[in-house]
A and B are shown apart, each in its own frame.
Chain A
């Protein structure tokens, strides 16, 4: 009985050691993975910051103004003026499709005609 206990304990220790060993390696692997991902995120973020800066630089008001002046023939863009505001009823919407009224069937019934 006692010997069995010793054997079982030894087996348990070996099992735990194997488990701890494997967990250790899995943890190290996960840490390496997060490090790689963080590096990737960092690169992506710096790229994003660079792209944002470039976007802002390309959209700077001076450049847009020059571009509208250069392309005035095609685009004919002018600064927004107060007289460009309109009302909804000034918009010419496409006309509503007309109802077909050629074959009219009278379905109304005179009161009192029923059975």
Chain B
């Protein structure tokens, strides 16, 4: 490039000759030079901008293409990481408190047909009927030769059946992988587990969804891949549950009952160790819910959780405990039991006549309706409601089963003084046996509220205090006396110091209007050992009749109590409790605190 001087001598001399200012020439040259520099700089900047924009464009195109491929291509596991292999089953197992499997998954196959690929349709139909005798050959032929391009033959087949279908050797018969839910213990704990079925179905896989019980309550958690297939630990104990089911089944048959339920609960942690409802069903082949008739007659109905019954005299201990807690009575306070007790047109009677008065302990031991009704009058409807609300009789139990939410106790619409009197001995308020177990657990653990749970816990619940420890202890001693000298004398199990209260309630007629004469709900609510209760057991029999005597006996003392005693004798050793000697009660001394 030729650089022009700012003051070219020739021009300067010429300008000097003509008398012009030579500086003008210099300024003109500087201006031209600046313009030239400016143009050059602009060109360079434009070029750089172009390069930059091309680079950015390339970058954006790259990102866009990558997003496009990610959006259009099939998702794939990151290959180099090991985390992908952790989850094998799409639904986590359910295990008991010791890790025994209650529910697991099994890989099976489904069988489907694509008729357009079939070679010999009639033969395939004929051979299939040989493998699956319940299929209809004519219908299969119609389906295969019709317009259908796809049909399910079987949702689940066993390996043997799969081999047999393989041997047919037709390309139109295809298999798809399928996971199925297996309950290896059969009917055991059927009501707690509930059952599972298929949700959305595809050739390659099918969703497994819980339909009842724990399976439905924890459906999300069991299916959540984030849990990594971690098993759900229930509080149930497989051996205890099996023994309880066995004993209760035998007891139900022996007592000619049409149904039975039992609940065994840890009084400190609130864990349910066994929950039985009979008749039961096989969750592997869950029956369909009945469309007609009384739903409570179906085996699917969980009597322990869903059944709402008037549980009778078992409620009396709540009245006695509250009276002692409020300071209205001590165990030795005499209470008038002369009957019948009139309230308006209504009369309250006792099973026997117990004379003019009984001590509070005797009222419970003899199970006097009149005595508890008088106590309820003193307590008043308001305070009784508060106490029962604290014990959880106003709400459905928060048990981790889908059915528990629906079991809201039936309360009188208007809680009058008469309602208070009848509720004090267990009539006029319907609740589930589970509610009763939770209430007894509160007395058994020294007066703290316990919420029943189906999940394994490792520490006691520190619930709100409902009654003082002293009144809870006094109530426990009364319950012990019911077994040693009262209505539950068959409940004595040597070494385990059973305490409990019987309850026999007439069943209300389904259409309303009074009670059945010869249909009862017999209940025994027990805790053991009495001097330091650890477990609460509630046994309920539906319409039991004991026929060994000259006339049929229906009271709980003759029906529910022997069954419960047998159950305690079987279950307590399994719980690791060794039989012990009950500490002698100090005569005439009751523990109190100021």
Contact = CB atoms under 8 A, between A and B. Distances in A.
A64 B142 CA distance: 47
A42 B85 contact: yes
B242 A82 contact: no
B573 interface: yes
Nearest to B88: A45
A56 B101 contact: yes
A53 B106 contact: yes
B570 A79 contact: yes
Interface string A78-107: 011111110000000000000000000000
Given A56-B104, A60-B185, A85 B579 contact: yes
A61 B80 contact: no
Given A79-B570, A82-B572, A61 B88 contact: no
Interface string B81-124: 01011001100000000001100111100000000000000000
Contacts of B570: 79-81
Interface in B538-594: 569-570, 572-574, 578-579
B573 A82 contact: yes
A53 B184 contact: yes
B104 A85 contact: no
B397 to A, nearest CB: 27
B101 A84 contact: no
Contacts of B572: 82
Contacts of A49: 88-89, 104-107
Interface string B53-83: 0000000000000000000000000011010
A60 B238 CA distance: 9
* Chain A interface size range: 20 to 34
A52 B573 contact: no
Contacts of A81: 569-570, 573
A59 B184 CA distance: 9
Interface stretch (A2-10, A31-39, A69-77): A31-39
A24 interface: no
Nearest to A43: B88
Identify the interface centre among A41, A52, A53, A65: most chain B CB within 10 Å of its CB.
A53
Contacts of A82: 493-496, 569, 572-573, 578-579
A21 interface: no
Given A53-B101, A61-B238, A38 B186 contact: no
Contacts of B493: 82
Interface string A43-67: 0011001101101110111100100
Contacts of A84: 573
A17 B246 CA distance: 75
Contact of B79 (A31, A50, A61, A83): A31
Contacts of B80: 30-31, 34
B243 interface: yes
Contact of A62 (B105, B186, B569): B186
Given A53-B106, A83-B579, A61 B569 contact: no
Contacts of A50: 106-107
A38 B84 CA distance: 8
Contacts of B186: 60, 62
Contacts of B184: 53, 56-57, 60
B210 to A, nearest CB: 18
Contact of B578 (A42, A57, A85): A85
* Chain B interface size range: 35 or more
B38 to A, nearest CB: 37
B182 interface: yes
A41 B85 contact: yes
B98 to A, nearest CB: 12
Contacts of B100: 56, 59
A61 B239 contact: yes
A107 to B, nearest CB: 49
A74 to B, nearest CB: 22
Contacts of B107: 46, 49-50
Nearest to B241: A61
A32 B100 CA distance: 37
Nearest to B107: A46
A35 B104 contact: no
A80 B573 contact: yes
B290 to A, nearest CB: 26
Contacts of A65: 242, 246
Contacts of A30: 80
A61 B185 contact: yes
A61 B579 CA distance: 25
B188 interface: yes
A50 B495 CA distance: 43
A61 B188 contact: yes
Contact of A38 (B85, B105, B187, B574): B85
Contacts of B242: 61-62, 65
B143 to A, nearest CB: 33
B567 to A, nearest CB: 12
Nearest to B95: A56
A55 to B, nearest CB: 8
B495 A52 contact: no
Interface string A101-115: 000000000000000
A62 B189 CA distance: 13
Contacts of A38: 82, 84-85
Contact of B104 (A42, A52, A62, A79): A52
Given A38-B85, A45-B85, A50-B107, A85 B573 contact: yes
Interface in B249-272: none
A84 B105 CA distance: 38
Nearest to B579: A82
A42 B107 CA distance: 13
> Nearest 7 A-B pairs (CB), nearest first?
A61-B242, A56-B184, A56-B101, A57-B184, A82-B579, A85-B578, A80-B573
10 contacts: A31-B80, A34-B79, A52-B104, A53-B105, A53-B106, A56-B101, A61-B242, A80-B574, A81-B573, A83-B579
Given A49-B89, A56-B101, A85-B579, 14 more contacts: A34-B80, A38-B82, A46-B107, A49-B105, A50-B106, A53-B101, A56-B104, A57-B182, A61-B238, A79-B243, A82-B493, A82-B578, A82-B579, A85-B578
